[in-house]
Amino acid sequence: MQMSDTFFVNWTTQLRKGLLELAILNTLGAGPLYGYDIVRRLGDVDSLVINEGTVYPILSRLRNERYVESYIEESSSGPPRKYYRLTTRGREELRRMNEHWTSLHGAIGQLRKEGGR
Amino acid sequence: MIELTPDAKRRFDEYLQRMRVSLRGSRSIEADEVEQNVIEHVEVALAGAPSPIGPERLGTVLEQLGPPERWLPDDDRPFWRKAMDRVMTGPDDWRLAYGSLALTLLMVITLPIGGALLLLPAFLMSRAYVALMEERGEPLGARKWLILPPIVFVLVLLCAGALLAPAGAFGAILSEVGIRDLGFDYNTRFERGRLFLGALSVAAGAWWIVLSGVFAMLMRPFRALFAPVTSGLKRGHALVLTIAGVVVAALGAVLLFAF
């Protein structure tokens, strides 16, 4: 692996780590989901989730910080499933995070435009 | 509930065990909750597969989940795990520097039970770090303080051994020879002390003159072996040892013959 490849891989890894919480909260923005379903939906976003297991510790932490809450629901196609949904606090935090992301995205877009890229 | 073959069950149990170990110590994550989610994930992912499910089929799902050791973000890992991971999986320069420091500390702690043996691997790791940085053309940076102790220990031991041990042995032999064969007849403790000190100084001075020649010839490998401590050494430093040898030998001769 060349030096520039290493730099790019490190950069995307850091970016992914930072964005995963935002992505999980946004996934839950539409309504309650169980863990496997969250992982599948995030998996549809190219390169966002390399190791699917990383989602579960984040879900646990978000629940500990009361941004999401969980409940068990019976399933017709197997054992009971653990669902996650946003709390009021989580919804408010998600709104702030999305605003920040939009602002950041806009600023980077502006910088790219100025740089001719 | 899915049905696993004994091999697959063993593999899954091992995976969950690894996961529990990697999540241990995290303050904001509940390992039980993560484990429950992972079991549910595997059950849902393999729900349609024909039973019993073998290790290969299970392995595909576990590979997608990834190694549990990489699940935790940095800020969730306890400090000791971060340090350990850095040493075990970090870039070579970090691993060598921290490995060398760890071995040096272990050596100091276990000195009474033979810990001194760890000095050699600690020294070799420090040397490897220096060589790696030279190869990359990078400065040693702040991490040089982690790798210096074993280099200094070995250097001090080697120098002390090379300078003093042969000189002491030669001095002892010389004073013995002086009393027996050269006709010195010293009966008081002071006179015997003078003879021994004089013989020791003559022997040390002569040995240092020889050693300075060897030192001058082997300057380059010596400098490389103990870099960065010896990086500033020049051939002129060998001359200092020669002069010290001449002075010490002359003082010894005065002690022996001038009274």
How far away is chain A from the Cα of B131, in angstroms, using its nearest Cα?
A: 19
Give, for B160, the enclosing helix (H) or strand (E): helix B144-180
User: Does the structure show a pLDDT above 60 at A6?
Assistant: yes
Residue A68 confidence (pLDDT) above 70: yes
d(CA B165, CA A42) in angstroms, rounded, equals 70
Q: What is the pLDDT of residue B81?
A: 66
Average pLDDT in chain B: 85
Contact B147, B129 (CB under 8 A): yes
Does B43 contact A79 at a Cβ distance shorter than 8 Å? yes
* Interface check A23 vs B, CB under 8 A: no
User: Which residues on chain A are in Cβ contact (under 8 Å) with B64?
Assistant: 51-52
The strands making up A33-34's β-sheet, listed across from edge to edge, are: A33-34, A78-86, A68-75
Minimum distance, in Å, between the CA of residue B24 and any CA atom of chain A: 12
Q: Does A77 touch chain B (CB under 8 A)?
A: yes
Question: Looking at the DSSP assignment, which residues form a beta bridge with residue A84?
Answer: A33, A70
Q: Which residue has the higher pLDDT, A99 or A13?
A: A99
Cα gap B80→B67, rounded to integer Å: 19
Subunit contact B41:A35, Cβ cutoff 8 A = yes
| pLDDT at residue B196 in the model | 79
pLDDT, greater one: B29 or A85 = A85
- Cross-strand pairs, A71: A83
Reported as a single tens digit per residue, the pLDDT across B153-188 is 999 999 999 888 887 777 777 777 766 666 666 667
Give mean pLDDT, residues A73-100: 91
Average pLDDT over residues B45-58: 89
The answer to whether B66 contacts A77, with C-beta atoms less than 8 Å apart, is no
Task: Tell me the whole-structure pTM to 2 decimals.
Answer: 0.56
Q: Check residue A67 and report its DSSP letter.
A: S
φ, ψ for residue B4, nearest 5 deg: -110, 150
Pick from B21, B15, B18, B2: nearest CA to B59: B15
What ipTM does the predicted assembly reach? 0.87
Positive or negative torsion for Cα B124, B125, B126, B129: positive
Mind listing the pLDDT tens digit for each residue in B55-104?
A: 999 999 999 999 988 887 666 666 766 666 666 666 677 788 888 999 99
pLDDT (0 to 100) of residue B191: 73
Closest by alpha carbon to B107, among B94, B99, B117? B117
Name beta bridge partners: A85: A69
Which of A22, A18, A7 has its CA nearest to residue A99? A22
Residue A25 is predicted with a pLDDT of 96
A68: left (phi over 0), alpha (psi -120 to 50) or beta: beta
Residue contacts between A and B (CB atoms, under 8 Å): 75
**Percent residues over pLDDT 90 in chain B:** 41
User: Phi/psi at A33 (nearest 5 deg)?
Assistant: -140, 155
Option in A51, A59, A79 nearest B65 (CB): A51
Tell me, what's the pLDDT at B86?
A: 64
Model confidence pLDDT, tens digit, residues A24-59: 999 999 999 999 999 999 988 877 877 899 999 999
- CB of A60 within 8 Å of a chain B CB? The answer is yes
Interface subset of A 28-47, CB within 8 angstroms of B: 34-36, 39
% of chain A residues with pLDDT over 70 = 96
Contact A54 B70 (CB under 8 A): yes
Tell me if residue B100 falls in helix, strand or coil.
helix
Contacts of B61 (CB under 8 A, 6+ apart): B41, B42, B45, B46
